[in-house]
Amino acid sequence: MTDTNIKFSLFNELADKEHEQVVICSDPESGLKAIIAIHNTTLGPALGGTRMWNYESEAAAMKDVLRLSRGMTYKSAISGLNLGGGKAVIIGDAQKEKTEVLFRAFGRFVDGLGGRYITAEDVGMTEKEMEWIYSETKYVTGIPKELGGSGNPSPVTAYGVYMGMKACVKKAYGSDSLEGKRIALQGAGNVASHFARHAAKEGAKLFISDIYEDKAKSLAEEVGGELVAPEDIYGLDVDIFNPCALGGVINDETLDQFKCDIIAGGANNVLDQEDKHGQMLLDKGIIYAPDYVINAGGVINIASELEGYNQERALQNAGNIYNTITDILTYSEEQGIPAHQASNTLAEKRIEAVGKIQNKYSSNAEISGRLGSVYKRFVD
C-alpha cells in the first residue's frame, strides 16, 4: 500500500464513522505512541477509557480507537448521560513498557484537550498508571476510592444488568419477578457474582459456569446454584442466558443451541456479527437486551464521580436501565427491527434532538466567538 492510499483510507474512515477529532500523541523520549479519538461531543465531553495494547500495526490501533470511541457515544447517549464518546489507545506491551514518564506524557496530552476528552481505566491499565495520568491532568475519572474516586464499578454494573434483565422478563412473561426463573450464567467473575446475589435473593435458580471451575463452584455454593461445564452453558433448558464473561458468544454455532427466551448479560460485544446475529435473535423470537445498554452501569458509575461520587445515586441511575431497556424493546417491536438497531436509533435521535436545540439557541458568547474570527470588529 502506498502512503497516498493509507491517508485516503484514514480520512474515509473518519468521515464514515463521523468522528470529530483524532489526536496522535507522540513522545519519542518516553516511547509514548498513543491515539485519542473524540467521536461526538454534542451531549457533553467525550468520555472513554484508555487501553494499552500491543497492536500488530498502527492501522489496527487506529481502527480500534475509532470503533471504541464511537461505541462510547452510543452508550452514553442511550444511558441518558450528559457525555459524549471518546477513547484512547496506547500502543505498547502492557507487561513490559509501562513507565511513569510515558503515562505522565500521555496525561499532558489529555490535559491539552482542556476537558473535551475525559479518560478512565480500560484493558491493560491498572490504578497505578491511572494515578500517573491523574498527576498531570484532572480530566480522569474512575479513580481509586483512596483518591476520592468511585473504585471498582462492578457492583453498579451488576445492578444495572439485574434491572435490565427484569425489564426483559416483564416483556416476556408479563411480570418482572425473577422468582422461579432459570438463568444460565456464563462467568463467575466480578459482575457475575454481584448479579447472582441479586437474582438468587429474588428466588431465581442459577446455572453457573467458568473456565476456572473453583470460581464457578464457590459462587454456585454461595447462591444455591448448580455448577455447569463451560461448553454446556449455551444449550441448557433455561429461561434466560446471561453472558458475563467474553464477547462474540452469540454466533452461528451458539444460536442453534439456545433454548432460552431472553439473552441479557454483562459482557461486551456479545453479538459476533452485530447486524446478522441481532436479526437472527429477532427471527428466533429471543428477547435481547443490547449489551452496551444493559452493562452501562460501569460508565454510569464513573460519570457519577464527575458530580461528586455517591454510590446510592449511581445505583439509582443504573436502576434506570430498566426503563431504557423497556423503551428499546417497545421501539424494536413497533418498528419490527432488532433490539440493537432500535437502541442505536434511539441514541442517534437523542443526539440529533439536543444538537438541534444547541444550534437554534446559541448563546451570545458563542455567536460572537464564531463571528469574531470572520468579522473582527464584532469582538471588541
Give me the active site residues, please. Answer: 87
CB of 249 to ligand NAD, least distance (A): 8
CB of 195 to ligand NAD, least distance (A): 9
Considering only 21, 177, 251, 268, the residue that binds ligand NAD (CB under 6 A) is: 268
109 vs 207, which CB is nearer to ligand NAD?
A: 207
141 contacts 153 by C-beta, under 8 angstroms: no
| Residue 32, φ and ψ in degrees, nearest 5 | -70, 125
107 vs 266, which CB is nearer to ligand NAD?
A: 266
Distance between CA atoms of 186 and 118, rounded to whole angstroms? Answer: 32
Site string for ligand NAD, 247-266 (x = CB under 6 A): -------------------x
CB of 326 to ligand NAD, least distance (A): 20
Considering only 6, 101, 246, 367, the residue that binds ligand NAD (CB under 6 A) is: 246
Distance between CA atoms of 188 and 204, rounded to whole angstroms? Answer: 16
Considering only 105, 188, 286, 306, the residue that binds ligand NAD (CB under 6 A) is: 188
Query: Segment near ligand NAD (CB under 6 A), from 71-79, 105-113, 244-252, 339-347?
Result: 244-252
Distance between CA atoms of 90 and 54, rounded to whole angstroms? Answer: 8
**Residue least distant from ligand NAD (Cβ):** 189
21 vs 251, which CB is nearer to ligand NAD?
A: 251
121 vs 261, which CB is nearer to ligand NAD?
A: 121
119 vs 154, which CB is nearer to ligand NAD?
A: 154
- Residue given cell 454446556 in the structure block: 232
List interacting residues with ligand NAD (CB under 6 A).
153-154, 157, 186-192, 209-212, 215, 230, 244-246, 266-268, 295, 298
